[in-house]
Amino acid sequence: MNLPRLALVICCATLAGSTIASSGQQTNKKAVDVHLAHSHAHELNGFLLRQDRKAIEAVLGKPYREGKTSDDWHWRAYHLHGFKDNYLVAFYIENAKSFFNGKIVQLELTGHEPSGFTGFYGLELGDSTEKVAAVLGKPTEIRHENDVNIDLWDYQSSNYSLEFTPSHKLYSIQVDEGPEGTEPAVGGTAEVYAFAQAVKAHDIDTMMYLVSGEIVCTKKAFFGIQSGYAREILEDKTSPISVCLTQAADVILSLGPEMKAAHTDIRIWEKGPPGMVVKFPKNSPLLEVVLIDEAGSPRIYEVTFR
């Protein structure tokens, strides 16, 4: 969406190298293609785009600043525990008629202190411009923002932008839903099988890569990730959604890499963009896995048992 950054003058996975877990001949071109198709940034500070804003407040508490940028766009700023200056800003929609109502559509992590793990391509606040360029490549555009005295690195074909201090240190990371006008991402059995592999291997980076911020797993009850950090919930093998997803992964992997017994259809929602659904044979305990276009990539949205 690439909305303007919020200029807050407030205070004072490793994904680039991750591979889809597999064994033997299952480390194949299909798995590599799935990995490359999910190169859009989706996680920041343990949260995912499309999580409910209440998931942030469950662990970071109430915001210390909040405001509005448009009719539907609102923002809330949260102090990060253990840091003096660093903060996280969540942008979300408030419109009961919108498919995105209450969901995080943009995240911004900002601060002068080295931040540790961010979930953003192995980078953290305080990294040098040289390190960032080595990981992400050169930006499409660099421009100086005089009002806050920072340099903005814009990657126009991607869904993220960065800010750097005058001393060339990474000061802010912004991820959002992605450039407007792009074709919806299409997913199917390849993503579902790769996700099952990641769940069984407990490959948390690839899982975070492939899941929607709204993911639910249903087996007599609904289990989701709206109670806090998405990464922590999925990393916990005993969390209800992890148990449910592990059981689903066993069913998916039993079909083999080609998943010939499953078939893919389109899924239409009244308010939202179309998605894809992988349906399983009638003798399977698994009914379907739904994928939705999120931040430029197909993500696992619903896993449903019969």
Q: Which residue, chain included where needed, has tokens 């390849």?
A: 190
Cα–Cα distance, 120 to 44 (Å, whole number): 6
Q: What is the CA radius of gyration of the chain?
A: 19
In a domain, 80, yes or no: yes
**Which tokens belong to 242?**
């992890």
For position 13, what pLDDT does the model report? 29
Instruction: Report, as an integer, the average pLDDT of 144-164.
Output: 93
86 lies in which domain range? 24-176
271 and 224, same structural domain?
yes
Mean pLDDT of 287-299: 92
| CA 172/CA 83 separation, integer angstroms | 15
Residues 48 and 169 in one domain: yes
pLDDT bracket for residue 179 (50, 70, 90): low
Instruction: Tell me, yes or no, whether 10 lies in a domain.
Output: no
Report H helices in 24-110: 29-37, 53-60
Question: What mean pLDDT comes out for the span 239-261?
Answer: 96
**Average pLDDT, integer, range 161-179:** 93
| More confidently predicted of 14 and 175 | 175
Instruction: Find the range with the poorest average confidence among 199-203, 241-245, 272-276, 291-295.
Output: 272-276
128 and 97 housed in the same domain: yes
Residue 181's pLDDT is what?
Answer: 53
Q: Are residues 170 and 196 in the same domain?
A: no
For residues 59 and 156, membership in a common domain is answered with yes
Considering its fold, how many domains does the chain have in total?
2
CB-based contacts of 210, cutoff 8 Å, min separation 6: 38, 191, 194, 195, 198, 299, 300
Same domain, yes or no, for 203 and 237?
A: yes
pLDDT at 39 over 50: yes
pTM of model > 0.75: yes
Are 202 and 141 in a shared domain?
A: no
- Please name the residue ranges forming H helices in 44-139: 53-60, 129-136
Select from 143, 176, 209 the last residue of a domain.
Answer: 176
Is residue 33 within 8 Å of residue 164, measured between CB atoms?
no
Q: Are 261 and 280 in contact (CB under 8 A)?
A: yes
Residue 198 is given by DSSP the state H
Q: 248 and 160 in one domain?
A: no
Report the chain's mean pLDDT, rounded to a whole number: 86
d(CA 208, CA 300): 10
Residue 5 lies in a domain: no
Domain final position from 176, 197, 220: 176
Report residue 32's pLDDT band, with 50, 70 and 90 as the boundaries.
very low
